[in-house]
Amino acid sequence: MRKLILTALMAATAFPVAAEAQSRGEIRRDRRDIQEQKREYRDAVRRGDWRDARDARGDLRDARRELREDRNDRNRRWGDNDWRDWRNRNRGVYARGNWRAPFRYYAFRPGVRIAPVYYTSSYWIADPWRYRLPPAGYGERWVRHYDDLLLVDTRRGIVLRVIHNFYW
C-alpha cells in the first residue's frame, strides 16, 4: 500500500512537467507543419496548379488554427488566477517603484511586432517565478513596459501576450 501511495505521488508531481513538455513539443511541431504547408503552397503557385494551391492554402489555414489552439491551451493551463491571487495578497512585490523608460507608453496588443528598444535586457523580468508567472519558452522573455507586462518573442520581436496593469 505504501508503494502504491508513493508511486501515485511521484506520478502526480511528474505529470505537469510532462504535460508542459508535450505542449511545447506540440507547438514546435505545429510551427514545422506551418512551414511545410507554406512551402507546398508556394510550390503549387509557382507550378501554376491552382487546384493544388487551393488545397495547400486550406492545409496551411488548418495548421495555423492548430497552432493557435495549442497556444491557447498552454495559456489556459497557466491561468491568470495564480498570479492575480498572489498579487492581491502580496502587494509589495508588485509595487510600481520609480521606473521610467526613455520612450512613451503604448498599449501593445498580442501579435504586434515591436522595436528591439522595447525588449532590451534592461527591461527583462529576470525572475518570473517571483510574480507567479509561467516560464517563458525558448526565445521568449517577459518584459516590463511601464505598468504592463509583455511576453515577447525576442527572435522576431512579436508580442505574444499582454498583461495590462500588472504593477500597482
pLDDT above 80: residue 21: no
pTM over cut 0.75: no
Query: Under a CB-based contact definition with an 8 Å cutoff, are residues 29 and 21 in contact?
Result: no
Dump pLDDT digits (tens) for 44-71: 888 888 888 888 888 888 888 888 887 7
Nearest to 77 by CA among 141, 143, 26: 26
More confident residue, 81 or 107: 107
pLDDT on residue 78 = 55
pLDDT on residue 54 = 85
Q: Confidence class of residue 15 from pLDDT cuts 50, 70 and 90? A: very low
Dump pLDDT digits (tens) for 106-163: 889 988 999 998 888 888 888 888 888 888 888 999 998 888 889 999 999 999 988 8
